A = this chain, B = another copy of it.
Amino acid sequence: MQEVRLTPPSYIVLGLLNWTGEATPYRLKQLVAGSVGFFWSLQHAQLYTEPERLTRGGYVSERREEGGRRRKLYKLTDKGRKALAEWRAEPTAHLSEVRDLGLLKLFFGADPSELAEVQLAAHRAELAEYERIRDGLPDDVPDGPRLALELGIRQARTWIDFWEELADRAPG
């Protein structure tokens, strides 16, 4: 057991394992894709390497399926559960950066209306999907994911308003 630093992806894995119990990397991949992945996605390879890292640190335990494909199954240890709880209980004042490629191009002089056109299409599709998901959310979905989705919807609207105003301006 060695020191491993816990990064945001670490907590995503810990949080999902806490949510779902024992799981394979592929199962984690599905869970990410259907939930937290909308605002913090991970490559599938990382869902194989990250649980392995966490195993080295003692935050999760790994076992092999008996028969069949002998897949790897991971679950939280007490140490992992404790680390997750402490992280969650500690409020953070950290501010995220926007890091948006379209905004970066705009910053460096891209034509606003041309950019606005493709960005609008993308953000409108994004908003439509979020609203569709929200309207179909089962009642037993906890507050956390529900609120995160709500934030995503508002951010999408902020983007749409922004680009709409730029699309309306005379080109050039």
A residues whose Cβ falls under 8 Å from a Cβ of B: 8, 11-12, 15, 18, 35-36, 38-41, 84, 87-89, 91-112, 114-115, 117-119, 121-123, 126, 142-145, 147-148, 150-152, 154-155, 158, 161-162, 166
Contact = CB atoms under 8 A, between A and B. Distances in A.
Given A11-B108, A91-B114, A154 B161 contact: yes
A89 B101 contact: no
Given A36-B104, A103-B39, A154-B158, A109 B92 contact: no
A95 B123 contact: yes
Contacts of A118: 91-93
Contacts of A36: 104, 107
A117 to B, nearest CB: 7
Say what secondary structure dominates the interface of chain A.
helix
A126 B93 CA distance: 11
Contacts of A12: 104
12 contacts: A39-B100, A39-B103, A40-B104, A88-B105, A92-B115, A93-B119, A99-B99, A103-B151, A107-B144, A112-B147, A147-B166, A151-B158
Contacts of A126: 95
A119 B91 contact: yes
A109 B94 contact: no
Contacts of A109: 88, 142-144
Contacts of A99: 8, 39-40, 96, 99
Contacts of A96: 98-103
Given A8-B101, A39-B100, A94-B101, A88 B117 contact: no
